[in-house]
Amino acid sequence: MNQLPQSRISPELSKTLRNMGTIWAQSEDRPRLSPVIISHWDKLLEAWGASDLPLIIRKSSGIRGSLLMHSSGRGIILSDNSPAQWSFSRAFEGQLLKLEDVRNSLEIDDIPFSFATKVAEKAFVTHKATLGSRDNINKRGWKLCHIEDVGLNTSTAIESLPIDLLIRHFKLLIAPSNHFLIPLELAGLGELKDLIDEVRSVDRVTN
């Protein structure tokens, strides 16, 4: 019986992938944010993380838009990638939000936490806003990717995880400084380490 060989990437293929990453990372076609905008949003998220406002955590399971209470008493809102699209889109518009703007947006339910809400889950959702056309990057032909992984990669209940860990992952999810775009038709390339490393290297220099 034939058995699959161990997975490996040849040096030639690895070089090709790095070259593709370099080309896209440096391309004028890649939408990028100004250092001023990036710095502002980083400071905003630092203040958000240190405040009493709920943290946003992306989770593949659970009800997006539902509010959990951490053992510390801090609120946690579960989400998909919608709030990341919201923050990048608003940053790209040049919006310099303040912490009170975020607080107000949460109070009036103006931040999306899911692409759509299942009918069976609506009764359990405390934040009902879904991703609208204004902030939907996919509808403009782009995929939003993260430079640093935002996954928690643990089976431990979120409510029991260290709050500092959750604050870090919240910032990684929402921060435009941790985002980059790739054409939707090439979405799979946005998961390749070689391409991500090139984007990280270029953006570190330019920002």
**CA–CA separation, 115 and 37 (whole Å):** 25
pTM of the model: 0.91
Domain ranges of the chain: 33-206
- Residue 184 predicted with pLDDT over 70: yes
Task: Please indicate whether residue 139 or residue 207 has the higher confidence score (pLDDT).
Answer: 139
The burial class, CB within 10 Å (0-12 / 13-18 / 19+), for 145 is: buried
Q: In what order do the strands lie in the sheet with 55-58?
A: 55-58, 75-79, 67-69
Give the DSSP per-residue string, 28-44. TTS----HHHHHHHHHH
Short-list 127, 19, 2, CA closest to 75? 127
pLDDT in tens, 51-100: 999 999 999 888 999 999 999 999 999 999 999 999 999 999 999 999 99
Model pLDDT, residue 10: 86
pLDDT (average), residues 141-150: 96
Instruction: Look over the chain and give the mean of its residue pLDDT values, rounded to a whole number.
Output: 93
Cβ pair 109, 128 in contact under 8 A: yes
Do 97 and 87 form a contact (C-beta atoms < 8 A)? no
Considering Cα of 153, then 157, then 162, then 168, what sign does the dihedral take? positive
Which tokens in the block code for residue 126? 């405390």
